[in-house]
Amino acid sequence: MTRNKFVILLPAAAMAAALLGFLSPQSAKAIAISVTSATNNTTTSLTGGGSGDRAQANSLSVTNSGTNTGTDFVAAVATGASRYVSNAAADRAVAVSGGTAKAQINSDYTVNFSVTPLFALTTYTVKIDTLLRGWLTAVDDSGIGASSGGTETVSNVTGLLNAVGNPSLGLSTNASADGTSGTLDNAINANNSLTLGPFSGPTSFTVRFTWSTSASSPQNVAGGDESAVRLGANGPLGGASADDYPGPNSRNQAADGHFLDISATVLSIPEPSSVVLAALGAMGLGLAAWRRRTA
């Protein structure tokens, strides 16, 4: 082989070797998910009473930054996950002025993730699961009964995919509990799921969730009752029990919150023969180019 022929064929041979290398049992993974960013844009409002009469806590964490699968095979699955937690609480002290103490959390967070298959011709689906679990809690600590009860609310959850609202990401909650009406506690347990695809090649996604929670404790000469919306965060209010874990109703803190689980499942991968043909084709193109140059 002449030096010119060698130089021309070298890139083609390298490409062929790379393609053929994908066929080995030690090849790269079939598909991978990467959670590229998670941003918490939550806003809060604390009104009425003193600073010790209402409080809130919220945070967002990536619990699974992304996995890749084992050796190539159909039905291989890659996963990623995040968890958002919050806790709104109020317990108005004995007072004759100052109004109702209220903690409100306007939850708003975004997660970006990408899916990358080994082969451009690999096809796959993406599934996004969401789950909201928690508890609305009122505790009568005024000693005068339900007439001084606190109030807790949770709105429906709005879900957006790539900045567009998507009902399959939303959650129907609209839960409330009110000590004045005798409904002291309510569970929050809502879930939904969205399947997308099929796709081929690398794909990126942005999901966003928004909703609001509030807890209030009214002004009363005997002190307002405790109220809290527990969604997985530690109790932020000192001297109260409604916002604690395990607290009333013996909640499992690790099981409460808003959970986002994402997965990518391989539907098909290129046949080995297709990869071999691509490798041979690359070598053939290199040889043809050399012949034209030397003709």
Element (H, E) at 106: strand 101-117
DSSP 289: H
pLDDT for 218: 87
pLDDT for 17: 43
Please state, as a whole number, how many other Cβ atoms lie within 10 Å of the Cβ of residue 165. 12
Strand duo 226-231 + 123-139: pairing: antiparallel
DSSP notation for 186-253? EEEEEEEEEEEEEEES-EEEEEEEEEEEEEEE---TT-PPEEEEEEBSPP-STT-STT-SSTTTT--G
pLDDT for 266: 94
SS3 63: strand
Q: pLDDT means per 10 residues in the chain (295 residues)?
A: 46 45 49 97 95 96 91 86 98 80 97 92 96 92 59 95 98 80 79 97 97 91 83 94 93 98 92 50 56 62
**Whether the Cβ atoms of residue 151 and residue 227 lie closer than 8 Å to each other:** yes
Name every residue whose Cβ is closer than 8 Å to that of residue 243 and which is 6 or more positions away in sequence: 55, 87, 89, 137, 215, 226, 228, 230, 235, 236, 237
Cross-strand bridge partners of residue 134 = 188
Q: Which of 265, 157, 258, 159 is nearest to 207 (CA)?
A: 159
Structure tokens at 198: 């099929």
pLDDT for 110: 98
Phi, psi of 18 (to 5 degrees): -65, -45
CA atoms within 13 A on the CB side of 247: 30
Q: How many helices (H) and strands (E) does the chain have?
A: 2, 14
Phi, psi of 253 (to 5 degrees): -60, -40
Residue ranges of domains in the chain: 1-29+270-295, 31-268
On the question of a cis peptide bond just before residue 198, with omega within 30 degrees of 0, the verdict is: yes
- CA gap 73, 215 in Å, rounded: 50
